[in-house]
């Protein structure tokens, strides 16, 4: 299972680039023309030195004393992340989570376009979600012959996540955002990013209690 | 900002414990009484040796040749993660994402109970989401004097995430699951876990394209 070895650029750097891009998009809408690393720090909470280091993986940006051209930096980062072109995205799972993702503005802002929604539940197939009709999972391979999406969002129950992910790979998908709380076993040329709410909440549950016990220890002195 | 330094137990171990717990809950419902580390590997995709190592942080579990008692291990892990008791959770943000989280089964399975939902949008305040009425963000501190929730889910736009998180801290919350795509600047005694769809999707966009360029290089030989 390949997740973090796709490139020499650290994954956290790529994640932060997405954050810079969001801020640059906003500045562009406000018709701001230049920005300093200090302003980036203020807007994102990410250290100015970290920002400069993240950019250094991809060449030279900005001018001393002037700062960064918002439009140039926006275009450069979009190009690095391949978000400078329209990309088709598939969604499997038309439940609560899937529906939330359909309404998620961030995707459109980054030119990711949800082009197909699939489910195995007969009561969902044929219904509309946003502007798309939910299709049967059995049509996915055929439908993606036309769409050619390489990115998919997997929002299905844990029990079926592995088998559905294999259908996605068969359909040509090479990057999966997995919301099911199990790791997927897929060929090495498929990138997977896992998001598990319950895992995150369990970690927080542990940490919130740690905090309590630290406080009580403190109070007992 | 403290995120990963709350304890000597590695965060990934805590996340995996949540996965084991989910599988153990399922086995218990199926009235299975013992389980081997090989079966855990089969069910979770997590290596049996990793499973044993994760448990070793917390003491001795299982018997050689017999395996693990499902109910004992379930109780032990729930206790480690403090998921053996009912915990109140707050949700701020009653948009698409917040609504999806209200319907999320995993929380109830782990005895996390959503006790309050808050929003600043007048068109949302007073409406029902699941069994709860959405309340004004301005009531949060007062409401949580009774609820005493220490865990909150933050599903609000980036622009207001920092200020809302400060209200949560004022209300006594010590662990936040942050879905806004910006880092929060909070006191050290507040644990934050960040989940950013767009960051994950941007990383996948980069990786999916990496794969294409690797393939084209290969094809040109």
For B161-208, how does the pLDDT look when each residue is reduced to its tens digit (9 = 90+)?
999 999 999 999 999 999 887 778 899 999 998 888 888 888 899 988
Interface test with A, best of B23, B174, B198, B213 (most A CBs within 10 A): B198
Q: Are residues B193 and B94 in the same domain?
A: yes
Using CA atoms, how far apart are residues B37 and A148, in angstroms rounded to an integer? 40
* Phi, psi of A61, rounded to the nearest 5 degrees: -135, 150
Interstrand relation of B175-178 and A175-178 (parallel, antiparallel or unpaired): unpaired
Helix extents (H) in B45-193: 48-56, 70-80, 96-102, 105-109, 140-147, 158-170
> Is residue A17 located within the same domain as residue A39?
yes
**Local structure of B75: helix, strand or coil:** helix
Residue A108 lies in a domain: yes
The verdict on residue A75 lying in a domain is yes
Total count of domains within chain B? 2
| pTM for the predicted model, two decimal places | 0.75
Instruction: Give B194→chain A minimum CA distance, Å.
Output: 9
- Does some domain include residue B70? yes
B62 and B130 co-located in one domain: no
Domain that holds residue B93: 87-199
- Residues B117, B68 share a domain: no
Same domain, B99 and B174: yes
Q: Determine the average pLDDT of the residues in A57-62.
A: 89
Q: Which residue of chain A has the CA closest to B5?
A: A207
Contact (CB<8Å) B204/A22: no
Nearest CA of chain B to the CA of A89: how many Å?
10
pLDDT digits over B30-80, tens only?
A: 999 999 999 998 888 788 999 999 999 998 898 888 899 999 999 999 999
Whole-angstrom Cα distance, residue A20 to residue B47? 37
- Residue B6 pLDDT > 50, yes or no? no
Q: Taking the CB of residue A121, how many other CB atoms lie within 10 A of it?
A: 14
- Contact yes or no for B96 and A104 at CB 8 A: yes
> Of A18, A162, A204, which is closest to B193 when you measure between CB atoms?
A204
Say yes or no: B103 and B177 in one domain: yes
Q: Band of the pLDDT at A211, cuts 50, 70, 90?
A: low
Inter-chain CB proximity A82 and B205 less than 8 Å: yes
CA–CA gap between residue A33 and residue A35 (Å, rounded): 7
Please indicate, yes or no, if residue A194 is contained in any of the structural domains: yes
Nearest chain A residue to B46 by CA: give it.
A183
Residue A212 maps to a domain: no
Question: What pLDDT is stored for residue B214 in this prediction?
Answer: 52
CB contact under 8 A, A208 and B195: no
DSSP-based three-state secondary structure for B29: helix
Burial annotation A68-86 (CB, 10 A radius, 16+ → b, else e): bbbeebbebbbebbbbeee
Phi, psi angle pair for A64, to nearest 5°:
-55, 135
Largest CA distance in chain B: 69
The pLDDT of A60-64, averaged and rounded, is: 87
> What CATH number is associated with residue B192?
3.40.50.720
* Sheet architecture: strand order including A112-119: A128-129, A132-136, A112-119, A87-92, A151-154, A175-178, A191-194
């Amino acid at each position: 299972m390949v997740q973090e070895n796709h490139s020499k650029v650290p994954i956290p750097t790529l994640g932060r680039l997405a954050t810079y891009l969001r801020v640059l998009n906003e500045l562009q809408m406000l018709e701001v023309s230049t920005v300093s690393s200090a302003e980036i720090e203020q807007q994102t909470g990410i250290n100015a030195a970290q920002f400069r280091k993240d950019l250094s993986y991809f060449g030279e940006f900005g001018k001393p004393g002037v700062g960064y051209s918002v439009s140039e930096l926006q275009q450069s980062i979009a190009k690095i992340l391949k978000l400078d072109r329209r990309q088709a995205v598939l969604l499997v799972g038309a439940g609560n989570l899937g529906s939330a993702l359909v309404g998620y503005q961030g995707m459109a802002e980054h030119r990711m376009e949800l082009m197909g929604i699939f489910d195995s539940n007969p009561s969902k197939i044929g219904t509309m979600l946003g502007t798309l009709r939910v299709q049967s999972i059995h049509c996915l391979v055929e439908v993606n012959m036309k769409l050619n999406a390489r990115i998919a969002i997997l929002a299905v129950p844990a029990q079926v996540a592995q088998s559905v992910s294999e259908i996605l790979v068969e359909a040509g998908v090479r990057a999966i955002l997995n919301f099911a709380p199990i790791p997927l076993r897929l060929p090495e040329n498929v990138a997977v990013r896992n998001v598990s709410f319950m895992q995150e909440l369990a970690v927080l549950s542990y940490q919130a209690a740690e905090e309590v016990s630290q406080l009580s220890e403190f109070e007992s002195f």
